[in-house]
């Protein structure tokens, strides 16, 4: 790397050093000239410099003060580039983008992968899509379907809010320092096809979390302490959560929402 930067492990700093992979990521994002893009963790700006010329506006959020200083000078005078120094988990994407439809991208710090995903799921109102490079095992869990051993909360929530797919698989050798795991680029294309029929999103999440909290158990057992099983009489609760798809979860959550709570 040509920058005097000592990578900080504590901030998940594994920099991409392969020009082909960077090019492939930028191509896979399918950017358009009118897009507003939020990049998480631009680092030294290796991906940023490929994205910025292709879009209307690029907002980059970097927590590391030294890297933020480097980026400010690297992109000085570039009109469509804005650097925001701080923690992505404290940012409101809607405020950053000024209510514009927003596309989120990033080679993210792996130690906060789930937090980042759920932070944006919770703030998806103006999100078009989100493409994140992450640990490959996590990517496989997101892309899993019912019956797959990896199918769990990440997959169900991803399928509830979006179409999720793995766009690229990236070996560990293209990062510096080299991480102990391979990576993959996942993209979620958000839609409200499922959530617009959902009566209570909080209840839906509690239901899915509770069931997968004891994924080997029949739902009759894992749900009985927290939910009104009478409201679920029409469902086969001898099934295990890994057998259910989004349509089943939605129907169960709506049945619970429609019924009076069984327990005070
Ligand atoms: N995009 C660069 C690349 O591909 O080489 C850097 C990727 S590195 C895996 C992750 C980046 O996220 C680092 O620059 C790190 O400082 C930054 N980062 C770590 N935690 C962050 C946080 N909470 N908010 C914003 N950026 C963060």
The response to whether residue 229 sits with its C-beta less than 6 Å from ligand 1 reads no
Task: List the residue whose alpha carbon is closest to atom 1 of ligand 1.
Answer: 42
Which whole number is the average pLDDT over 212-220?
95
Q: With b meaning 16 or more CB within 10 Å and e meaning fewer, what string describes 44-77?
A: bbbbbbbbbebbebbbbbbbbeebbebbeebbee
Q: Which pLDDT score, from 0 to 100, does residue 5 have?
A: 75
- Relative to the CA of 15, which ligand 1 atom is closest? 5
pLDDT in tens, 1-57: 455 678 999 999 999 999 999 999 999 999 999 999 999 999 999 999 999 999 999
- CATH classification (class only), 9-191: alpha beta
The response to whether residue 12 sits with its C-beta less than 6 Å from ligand 1 reads yes
CA 32 – CA 184 distance, rounded (Å): 23
Has residue 223 got a pLDDT over 90?
A: yes
* Bridge partner residues of 186 (DSSP): 132, 166
The response to whether residue 87 sits with its C-beta less than 6 Å from ligand 1 reads yes
Would you kindly state where each structural domain of the chain is located, as residue ranges?
9-191, 196-258
pTM for this entry: 0.95
Percent of the chain with pLDDT over 70: 97
Task: List the residue whose alpha carbon is closest to atom 3 of ligand 1.
Answer: 15
pLDDT in tens, 103-132: 999 999 999 999 999 999 999 999 999 999
* CATH numeric code, 196-258: 1.10.8.100
Q: Which pLDDT score, from 0 to 100, does residue 1 have?
A: 45
Has residue 260 got a pLDDT over 80?
A: no
Task: List the residue whose alpha carbon is closest to atom 22 of ligand 1.
Answer: 87
Summary mean pLDDT of the chain: 95
Has residue 183 got a pLDDT over 70?
A: yes
The response to whether residue 1 sits with its C-beta less than 6 Å from ligand 1 reads no
Beta strand pairing call for 183-190 and 162-170: antiparallel
């Amino acid at each position: 790397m040509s920058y005097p930067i000592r990578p900080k492990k504590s901030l998940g700093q594994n920099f991409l050093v392969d020009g082909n992979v960077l090019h492939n990521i930028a191509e896979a994002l399918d950017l358009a000239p009118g897009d507003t893009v939020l990049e998480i963790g631009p680092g030294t700006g290796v991906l940023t410099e490929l994205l910025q010329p292709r879009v209307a506006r690029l907002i980059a959020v970097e927590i590391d003060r030294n890297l933020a200083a480097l980026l400010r000078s690297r992109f000085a005078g570039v009109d469509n580039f804005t650097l925001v120094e701080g923690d992505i988990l404290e940012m409101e994407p809607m405020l950053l983008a000024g209510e514009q439809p927003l596309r989120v991208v990033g080679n993210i710090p792996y130690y906060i992968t789930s937090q980042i995903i759920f932070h944006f799921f919770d703030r998806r109102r103006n999100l078009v899509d989100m493409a994140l490079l992450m640990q490959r095992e996590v990517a496989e869990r997101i892309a899993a379907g019912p019956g797959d051993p990896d199918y769990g909360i990440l997959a169900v929530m991803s399928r509830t809010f979006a179409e999720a797919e793995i766009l690229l698989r990236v070996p560990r050798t293209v990062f510096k320092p080299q991480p102990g795991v391979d990576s993959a680029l996942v993209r979620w294309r958000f839609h409200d096809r499922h959530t617009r029929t959902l009566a209570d999103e909080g209840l839906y999440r509690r239901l899915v979390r509770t069931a997968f909290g004891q994924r080997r158990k029949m739902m009759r057992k894992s749900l009985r302490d927290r939910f009104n099983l009478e409201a679920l009489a029409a469902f086969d609760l001898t099934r295990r959560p890994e057998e259910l798809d989004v349509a089943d979860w939605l129907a169960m959550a709506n049945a619970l929402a429609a019924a009076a709570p069984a327990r005070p």
